[in-house]
Amino acid sequence: MQDYIKGLNERQKEAVLHIQGPIMIIAGAGSGKTKVLTTRIAHLMASGIDSFNILALTFTNKAAREMKERVEHILGNSEARNLYIGTFHSVFARILRAEAHRIGYPNNFTIYDTDDAKSVVKAVINEMHLDDKLYKPATVYNRISSAKNALVSPADYATDYYVQQEDIRANRPAIAKIYDAYCKRCFKNGAMDFDDLLLKFYELLKTNAESLSKYQHKFKYILIDEYQDTNPAQYEVIKLLGQCMKMFAWWATMRRVFTVSAALPSRIFCSSRKIMMK
């Protein structure tokens, strides 16, 4: 038995050695979730799986770096450098650098940080001669960000009755027009904001069959840390990517599963095999 397996308890070992078919790991605090996740990646590679076929998604850059370092330590080589390990935003940005031209953006597109994005929103508000005390750039930006993370386009936003009623009650009925103008400005500038890295990757997969097939077959093994924290955009992207893969692992923290929205359990409890780690 490989040395890295010997230090695992039975539940951890079960999670690491399961290779074929989807699996969900529900882990409590202090149960060794990160150790199991990284050991699982190392085991896949030790079993002959090419590192380029493994995608591991996290929510922080720190967690991604830690995973790579642990895998390198376990295997004793530099193959982990070829893994697609990172945050949703960083991994999708990396892919879009090669694919953005398929959706009309230059591959060397600019990535706006939050301050950049708010500056563009402010410029649009001023050009539309709106009251920037009522239409505060940060407030409008947050509204646009929420729409993008829910995969709501400017056109959908403008025609959604309930969304429009919310804006009217807040005395901000022009947000739909700001959203549309903001998106057009970003596109004209060859730029994406952080939320676009999710939204535009989703659009790429939905509108380009070649790209969808390419990444479905490339990422045969996908592991997601803190899966219960995914937003609709992240979830829909993973659902598209996961249609052709051999293994799908959900990694959810037990204490969080029961505090999330009512819609989430249908996502979490769909995998064919579940392992509880306490």
Given a cut of 90, whether residue 234 has pLDDT beyond it is: yes
Please state the rounded mean pLDDT for residues 36-54: 89
Given a cut of 60, whether residue 261 has pLDDT beyond it is: no
* Span 99-148, pLDDT tens digits: 999 999 999 999 999 999 999 999 999 999 999 999 999 999 999 999 99
At residue 182, the pLDDT reads 98
Q: Please name the residues in contact with 267: beta carbons below 8 A apart, sequence gap of 6 or more.
A: 227, 230, 235
Query: Would you say 272 and 21 are in contact if contact means Cβ atoms under 8 Å apart?
Result: yes
Taking CA 65 as the corner, what is the angle to CA 2 and CA 242, rounded to the nearest 5 degrees? 75
At residue 30, the pLDDT reads 73
Given a cut of 60, whether residue 212 has pLDDT beyond it is: yes
Please state the rounded mean pLDDT for residues 210-219: 94
Q: Please name the residues in contact with 231: beta carbons below 8 A apart, sequence gap of 6 or more.
A: 149, 150, 198
Give the range among 136-150, 177-191, 218-232, 238-252 with minimum mean pLDDT: 238-252
Query: Would you say 102 and 184 are in contact if contact means Cβ atoms under 8 Å apart?
Result: no
Please state the rounded mean pLDDT for residues 55-77: 86
> 28: phi > 0 → left, psi -120 to 50 → alpha, else beta; which?
beta
Query: Would you say 164 and 158 are in contact if contact means Cβ atoms under 8 Å apart?
Result: yes
Given a cut of 70, whether residue 257 has pLDDT beyond it is: no
Query: Would you say 149 and 92 are in contact if contact means Cβ atoms under 8 Å apart?
Result: no
Query: Would you say 28 and 278 are in contact if contact means Cβ atoms under 8 Å apart?
Result: yes
Given a cut of 60, whether residue 272 has pLDDT beyond it is: no
* Span 145-193, pLDDT tens digits: 999 999 999 999 999 999 999 999 999 999 999 999 999 999 999 999 9
Given a cut of 80, whether residue 80 has pLDDT beyond it is: no
Please state the rounded mean pLDDT for residues 42-55: 89
Higher pLDDT, 30 or 261: 30
Percent of residues, the chain, with pLDDT higher than 90: 54
Given a cut of 70, whether residue 86 has pLDDT beyond it is: yes
Range from 21-30, 96-105, 218-227 that averages highest in pLDDT: 96-105
In this structure, what token pair is assigned to residue 33? 């979730």
Given a cut of 50, whether residue 200 has pLDDT beyond it is: yes
At residue 250, the pLDDT reads 61
At residue 183, the pLDDT reads 98
In this structure, what token pair is assigned to residue 161? 């009755």
Q: Which domains are assigned to the chain?
A: 3-99+217-277 (3.40.50.300), 110-189 (1.10.10)
Given a cut of 50, whether residue 198 has pLDDT beyond it is: yes
Whole-number Å distance between alpha carbons of 115 and 193: 10
Provide φ and ψ at 49, rounded to 5°.
-75, 130
Say what angle helices 232-241 and 88-99 make with each other, to 10 degrees. 60
Rg (CA), the chain: 21
Q: Please name the residues in contact with 89: beta carbons below 8 A apart, sequence gap of 6 or more.
A: 194, 197, 198
Most distant CA pair in the chain, distance: 70
At residue 278, the pLDDT reads 54
